[in-house]
Amino acid sequence: MKKEMNVTKSIGNIAVKVEAVETENNARITIVMPDGETRLGMLSDLNKALKFYSGIKIGGRLISGLSLSDEQFETIKSYIKEVEQHIKEREHKKFLENKQKINHFYGYGYSLSTRNGKCAKEYSQAALKKVYEENKIKNPKYDLFDDGYSTSYIFPEILGSDLLDLLDKAEAELEAKKQENKAKKEREVSRKFEKAKETGRPVLIEKSGGISTENFDTGWAWVYKTYAMPDGTTETVKEKEVWD
């Protein structure tokens, strides 16, 4: 996709030309002066203007941007969206057709490689970790003394389309497990309400807060306990937990 569009705009009595051209990674907006001097610019949604990355002096005045009509603004904005979508589709296709891998860096989590294309789909850290752990191999270049810049395991490069199949399957399995756990919890809560009704006494549903590594040195913390009540309602009690 190679497309160029022009929007003519005047500054006082000086006519300039605005060009928007697709580049490798984005839509480049260039303001061309009558003498051929150019400035790169960007759209500002706030005031529907075209801002220069660096100003230019015209008639002794420093010009930092151009105001646009609604039609001019929407024309350029529409083109930029078109270019961004095209680049996204192109990079995703490239990702599918080339070998890819999952990267893992200690402290930063998991991510898809972007060297040969960029995946347009978003995947959860849980899915990325699941696929990584199920397919990882020992790293022959692992260096124990590189301060965490290499890992003892790596993900073998596979075709991007095959990698996304694995990730889609992982997401589906994780979602199924999530729904299973949700249903299990709902059944447990239901049984607790039944018990509360039968006994006429509150039954603990869940507890949160309390001692942790973050508050250990303080010697105390708030604990929140939620109970199933005999009348079918819930009640949360706030208590102070103290330790030596």
Task: Map 178-202 to HEC letters.
Answer: HHHHHHHHHHHHHHHHHHHHHHCCC
Amino acid of residue 140: P
Amino acid of residue 168: D
pTM of structure: 0.73
pLDDT digits (tens, 9 = 90+) for 141-181: 887 776 656 788 999 999 999 999 999 999 999 999 999 99
**Tokens matching residue 201:** 């006494």
Backbone angles phi, psi at 123, to 5 degrees: -125, 145
Q: SS3 helix, strand, coil % of the chain, rounded to 5? A: 35, 35, 30
How confident is the model at residue 7, as a pLDDT? 61
- pLDDT per 10-residue tile (average), the chain, 244 residues: 56 64 77 76 84 76 80 84 88 96 90 94 97 94 71 93 98 98 97 97 95 88 96 95 86
- Angstrom distance (rounded) from CA 52 to CA 31: 8
How confident is the model at residue 149, as a pLDDT? 66
**Tokens matching residue 181:** 């756990």
Sign of the C-alpha dihedral computed for residues 11, 17, 18 and 23 taken in this order: negative
- Angstrom distance (rounded) from CA 118 to CA 234: 48
Please, what is the Cα angle at 81 between 80 and 86, to 5 degrees? 100
pLDDT digits (tens, 9 = 90+) for 180-191: 999 999 999 999
Rg for the chain, CA atoms, rounded: 29
Three-state secondary-structure class, residue 124: coil
In this structure, are residues 229 and 235 in contact, taking their beta carbons and an 8 Å threshold?
yes
The position carrying tokens 């389309």 is 161
The position carrying tokens 């075709």 is 159
